[in-house]
């Protein structure tokens, strides 16, 4: 009975949210939100989480949707820039979540959830955190490479990446028992800081254009 009530309430909230998006935002954002909802609540939570140790890699795509939804809510269209933001979160998710999985390995094992440390061991998972960390670093440089952002973003994200990889290195080496949990907590601040400097860069460029006299 409590499960049925929870399902009914979640369905009601989802339908109300989708209706609000169609009414006040646009249909594209509503459809993308529906896809993200199905991907996260049904495909990932119901199936993937208990089916494969690659659960958070595949399911991470649904969790990476918010920047795309925000972009389409404002512009009404999909472009390369929001897809790049999705890619950044998609690449960041494995080192972020596998660090936590290392810390909670025994609990996942008792719950029967096939997280990577449970199925492939801690050493293999630590290596994946290190490798996916480098993938994240490479992807986070793309906004500057394609001209989406400028020098403010580049400097800020490089500083964040250095600290990010320091923690990933500590996880990889496995010499500090508390490193996985510390890396997990820093990864949250990392992604917040990344989007913060991306926003700061946007306003810095706008301010630069405003104060620069127009050429005759």
Q: What are phi and psi of 65, to 5 degrees?
A: -70, -30
The confidence score (pLDDT) of residue 66 equals: 92
The confidence score (pLDDT) of residue 167 equals: 98
Work out the average pLDDT over 111-138.
96
- Using alpha carbons only, give the angle 27, 31, 37 rounded to the nearest 5 degrees: 140
Work out the average pLDDT over 102-118.
94
| Lowest-confidence segment of 41-55, 121-135, 168-182 by average pLDDT | 41-55
CB count in 10 Å sphere of residue 185 = 14
Q: What is the spatial distance between Cα 77 and Cα 85, in angstroms, rounded to a whole number?
A: 15
The confidence score (pLDDT) of residue 179 equals: 96
pLDDT of residue 204 exceeding 90 = no
Short-list 31, 36, 60, 65, CA closest to 48:
60
Q: What is the spatial distance between Cα 13 and Cα 194, in angstroms, rounded to a whole number?
A: 31
pLDDT of residue 77 exceeding 80 = yes
pLDDT of residue 216 exceeding 60 = no
The confidence score (pLDDT) of residue 215 equals: 47
Tokens of 182: 């510390």
Average pLDDT value over all residues in the chain: 91
The confidence score (pLDDT) of residue 47 equals: 79
Helix axes 27-37, 55-63, angle to 10 degrees: 160
CA–centroid distance for 118 within its chain: 23
Helix (H, G, I), strand (E, B) or coil at 175: coil
The confidence score (pLDDT) of residue 213 equals: 58
CATH of range 79-208; options 1.20.120, 1.10.10, 2.30.30, 1.10.3860: 1.20.120
Highest mean pLDDT among 46-50, 109-113, 168-172: 168-172
Report yes or no: 116 and 98 within 8 Å, Cβ to Cβ.
Answer: yes
CA–centroid distance for 180 within its chain: 18
Higher pLDDT, 47 or 90: 90
Short-list 110, 96, 59, CA closest to 182:
96
- Residue-wise pLDDT for 180-195, tens only, equals 999 999 999 999 999 9
Report yes or no: 162 and 141 within 8 Å, Cβ to Cβ.
Answer: no
Q: How confident is the model at residue 39 (pLDDT cuts 50, 70, 90)?
A: confident
- Region(s) of the chain under CATH 1.20.120: 79-208
Q: H/E/C letters for each residue in 4-67? A: HHHHHHHHHHHHHHHHHHHHHCCHHHHHHHHHHHHHHHHHHHHHHHHCCCCHHHHHHHHHCCHH
Work out the average pLDDT over 78-93.
95
């Amino acid at each position: 009975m409590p499960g049925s009530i929870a399902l009914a309430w979640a369905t009601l909230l989802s339908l109300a949210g989708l209706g609000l998006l169609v009414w006040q935002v646009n249909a594209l954002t509503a459809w993308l939100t529906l896809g993200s909802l199905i991907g996260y609540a049904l495909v990932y939570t119901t199936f993937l989480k208990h089916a494969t140790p690659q659960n958070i890699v595949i399911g991470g795509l649904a969790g990476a949707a918010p920047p795309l939804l925000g972009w389409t809510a404002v512009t009404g269209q999909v472009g390369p820039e929001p897809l790049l933001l999705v890619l950044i979160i998609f690449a960041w998710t494995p080192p972020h979540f596998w660090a936590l999985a290392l810390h909670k390995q025994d609990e996942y094992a008792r719950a029967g959830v096939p997280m990577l440390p449970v199925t492939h061991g801690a050493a293999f998972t630590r290596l994946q955190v290190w490798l996916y960390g480098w993938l994240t670093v490479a992807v986070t440089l793309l906004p500057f490479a394609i001209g989406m952002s400028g020098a403010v973003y580049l400097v800020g994200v490089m500083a964040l990446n250095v600290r990010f990889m320091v923690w990933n290195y500590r996880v990889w080496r496995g010499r500090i028992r508390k490193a996985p949990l510390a890396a997990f907590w820093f990864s949250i601040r990392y992604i917040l800081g990344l989007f913060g400097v991306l926003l700061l860069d946007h306003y810095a460029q706008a301010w630069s254009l405003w104060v620069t006299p127009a050429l005759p």
